[in-house]
Amino acid sequence: MTELAGWTHAYSGKVRDLYVDMGVTDLEHARRVLMVASDRVSAFDYVLEPGIPGKGELLTTLSLWWFDQLEGIPNHLLSGMTEDATGQPATEIPDAVQGRAMLARTLDMFPIECVVRGYLVGSGWLEYQQSQTVCGIPLPTGLQNGDRLPEPIYTPAFKAPMGAHDENISFERTVELVGPEIAESLRTLSLEIFRRASAIAAKRGLILADTKFEFGAHHDTGLITLADEVLTSDSSRYWDAATYAAGGPNRLDSFDKQIVRNWLSANWDKTGTPPELPAEIVAQTAARYRELIERLTGGGTD
């Protein structure tokens, strides 16, 4: 992990490294956090070798672009501000992580992953085949893998502490966790952002199949604020609308590490350490990430 002058490393997830101002003991006491996206790629909960060159930058660019698109939704970004949350002149993002770092206001994060699904796929499809529900929400009969849902559904998960698996929870459970008003706001905001983002993606020939948001409360005002990464290929499934419409085996190929997952499934029995990714798989994955960002941010007007 990169050493950054003036910053202390506070936490690393599978993909991102978080830093707080030097002298601050931990994230809880920090007014701001530097979130650095690495090139690490994970699949089936393993961090793989090697990373995908440029991935960290692409994820950061995508998040920043989406925050900008979502005008009116309060977000955690401090980058670009001339003063930081403490009223001091904002420190520039260190050169070593320029392009793949966001400077954000530290929030009291709600322990909820706000998942929205517009399509039946993945774990949702598995559950549907068993019980005709997704996260307990009843759905019409006769849906197929990858079908569009009658309307997007909010299926929250409990954000498990470090390393543990997130667990799907009911809306009622989110009420117990954060109270009725906040639970209601998280659902409303998540569905609203999903609808807006889907419309923007659709104009670029992309389907936003599902995604996950995280929110936190502003330390001083309590304002519910959109945090973390947003609508990236790590947090979302995007499909190509034309490929989807044409049907066929690739119609649900997502713009993320699908290529990595497919290769691993074919070349690894999921015991022991995963094998190193071949150069062509790395290159194809990097190209796929770039394609998404070009499609989304490259053209089209709103």
How would DSSP label each residue in 41-89? Answer: -EETTEE-SS--TTHHHHHHHHHHHHHHHSTTS-B-B-TT-SB-TTSSB
DSSP-derived pairing of the beta strands 112-119 and 157-158:
antiparallel
Q: Which 223-262 positions form the footprint of ligand ATP (CB under 6 A)?
A: 227-228
Size of residue set near ligand ATP by CB under 6 A: 16
Q: Which 107-136 positions form the footprint of ligand ATP (CB under 6 A)?
A: 107, 109
Residue with the shortest CB distance to ligand ATP: 13
- Site for ligand ATP (CB under 6 A): which residue of 2, 8, 9, 13? 13
- Site for ligand ATP (CB under 6 A): which residue of 4, 7, 10, 16? 16
Residue type at 51 in one-letter notation: G
Pick 107 or 207: Cβ nearer ligand ATP? 107
- Site for ligand ATP (CB under 6 A): which residue of 40, 76, 117, 212? 76
Q: Are 195 and 116 in contact (CB under 8 A)?
A: no
Q: How far is the CB of 111 from ligand ATP (least distance, A)?
A: 9
Tokens of 221: 């005002």
Tell me how far apart the alpha carbons of residues 53 and 215 are, in angstroms, rounded to a whole number.
29
264-283 footprint of ligand ATP as x/- string (CB under 6 A): --------------------
Report CA dihedral (17, 187, 110, 176) to the nearest 10 degrees.
-150
Q: How far apart are the first and last CA of the chain?
A: 39
Q: Which 30-69 positions form the footprint of ligand ATP (CB under 6 A)?
A: 33
- Site for ligand ATP (CB under 6 A): which residue of 57, 214, 240, 256? 214
Q: How far is the CB of 162 from ligand ATP (least distance, A)?
A: 6
239 φ, ψ to 5°?
A: -120, 160
Binding site residues, ligand ATP, CB under 6 A: 13-16, 18, 33, 76, 104-107, 109, 214, 216, 227-228
